[in-house]
A and B are shown apart, each in its own frame.
Chain A
């Protein structure tokens, strides 16, 4: 034994040796050979993948059941977060400057126009996919017990997805956004009891300077304060709210026993059994 040559310190390790080394093992906790155990560990020992269970219904991986719409919606949200943060580096939420920043992004910032376009189109796409997702959840009856609560989380996500898009519309501070938001918030004026032009609003002392619309816009017209508010709702508050709701949404999918189907179909005979009669 004492005859073995001393190890050459300066020889580079092979790939196989690397995989046995301390650094590799500190990152990857399991082997990657194709065994059922490793396949499960690949999902369970990864913080991002462990949103998923280790195994799922064999028919649920087909496209035709979920249409992949929930997942695509989530992916679009991630795309929007990344492109949105990039845009924030160049954008000031102040009157005059905001519009110039958009021009600057479109014409001078490297890939600025591309980033802005992608943010815009991903936002539109996210609305479509959210609607389609809701549509498929409805058609597969996936809101039925035990998933009632998660459907409700979904309805809130639908609302916040649309508000996210709407608050972003004002940020370029151009005619399109300005008038869309003016038309939109004018409706708030008509809120019953709390709007200056709503039923019983004026009688209760509400004017254009203290009603809900004023609270939303931070003023009686769409101006600098409204721009700042839209910015904060759009870039901070609503993304946080939506993220929290998504965490609950995904957690609930797992807790409700994973995805609802494709489940075996029910026939009338199942319902007329002794169990069903009691109900």
Chain B
């Protein structure tokens, strides 16, 4: 898209939320990390001085002896909730007065919208369609994302950081969440919103959307790189299965090595099911950026191609 198009996309009413996210996400990441680092400094101080740790109230919030540790919900919490309601209402009212919800032409199955995009919060999934067939991008990966989120409380065996912000005490889980949520999920949405144009092709900001651009399908399946032809179905499938299998086995072994070395405590504490789930989720999560690099950088279409399904 050229700059004019970029402005058009950025100011499209339905894209306001994603533009908002571009500011909110970094802000809240900073806001959370700032408190994490403050707590980390307190933790360091207390660990260095066990005597202080016995008497300290152990929070960065101020506390004076004699203060109650609790306060009445009425009025201390309710007045804040009331204020929040007013502020949110005000924002919505102003937003609704100045920006109209879009309404396009009536639905017409014969007139394809190009590009036809899902709502912004699903653009991550739509962007995954570039790298994987729909059964993976649209069904399996969302399932893994939800399942993985649900598994978090049961595989994170670290007892620290329960109820306070900290980075130092939970480096591994925080990094994993940042990579999965901030990097993969949100970056894919940004790509889907701002980079993808007609035909779901890649247009850098500054490039004009060209509805007639044709990309010569240069993507090749991985087995073609080593001279196996698409027509040699079984050979190709076997080769693909080996590569995929090898990725999981070697990736799993690599994770195992790294976890033993750098996440020793987690390794010791997790039972087999927890450990295996952690490794499986890690390997699968990194499968996405790896496939993205293979596709965008090396024009690899499928790693494993069979007549029934492709990966």
Contacts and interface: CB of A to CB of B under 8 A. Distances in A.
Contacts of A76: 88
Contacts of B146: 155, 159
Which of B108, B109, B153 is the most central at the interface, judged by chain A CB atoms within 10 Å of its CB? Answer: B153
A117 B74 contact: no
Nearest to B120: A124
Interface string A97-127: 0010011001000000110111111101101
B310 to A, nearest CB: 9
B152 A139 contact: no
A187 B78 contact: no
Interface in A221-235: 221-222
B308 interface: yes
Interface string A222-261: 1000000000000000000000000000000000000011
Contact of A59 (B61, B100, B133): B61
Nearest to A130: B121
Nearest to A50: B73
B272 interface: no
B21 A36 contact: no
A264 B106 CA distance: 57
Contacts of A271: 159-160
B77 A52 contact: yes
Interface in B145-191: 146, 149-150, 152-154, 156, 158-166, 169-170, 174, 177, 181
Contacts of B78: 43, 49, 52
B105 A72 contact: no
A266 B160 contact: yes
B234 to A, nearest CB: 17
Classify chain B: how many residues form its interface, as a range. Answer: 35 or more
Interface string B134-149: 1101111000001001
A81 interface: no
B215 interface: no
B214 to A, nearest CB: 22
Contacts of B95: 117-118, 121
A16 interface: no
A206 interface: no
Contacts of A192: 135, 139-140, 309
A124 to B, nearest CB: 4
B122 A188 contact: no
B16 A124 contact: yes
Which of B92, B112, B137 has most chain A Cβ within 10 Å?
Answer: B92
A57 B70 contact: yes
A183 B126 contact: yes
SS class of chain B's interface: helix, strand, loop or mixed? helix
Contacts of A211: none
Interface residues of A, number: 105
Interface stretch (B32-40, B243-251, B289-297): B32-40
A58 B162 contact: no
A262 B163 contact: yes
Contacts of B75: 39
A154 B39 CA distance: 26
B273 interface: no
Interface string B83-95: 0110011001101
A148 B134 contact: no
A89 B138 CA distance: 35
A57 B103 contact: no
Contacts of A261: 163-164
Given A75-B85, A76-B88, 20 more contacts: A42-B74, A52-B77, A99-B106, A117-B97, A120-B101, A135-B32, A138-B152, A139-B165, A140-B161, A141-B162, A158-B149, A179-B113, A187-B134, A188-B139, A190-B135, A190-B138, A198-B135, A222-B109, A264-B164, A271-B160
24 contacts: A52-B73, A52-B78, A56-B77, A64-B31, A68-B84, A71-B81, A72-B84, A117-B95, A121-B16, A136-B28, A140-B164, A151-B150, A166-B119, A179-B117, A180-B122, A190-B135, A195-B139, A197-B134, A200-B308, A200-B309, A260-B162, A264-B164, A265-B46, A266-B169
Interface of B: 14, 16-17, 20-21, 24, 28-29, 31-32, 35-36, 39, 42-43, 46-47, 50, 53, 57-59, 61, 67-78, 80-81, 84-85, 88-89, 92-93, 95-97, 99-109, 111-113, 116-119, 121-122, 125-126, 129, 133-135, 137-140, 146, 149-150, 152-154, 156, 158-166, 169-170, 174, 177, 181, 269, 308-309
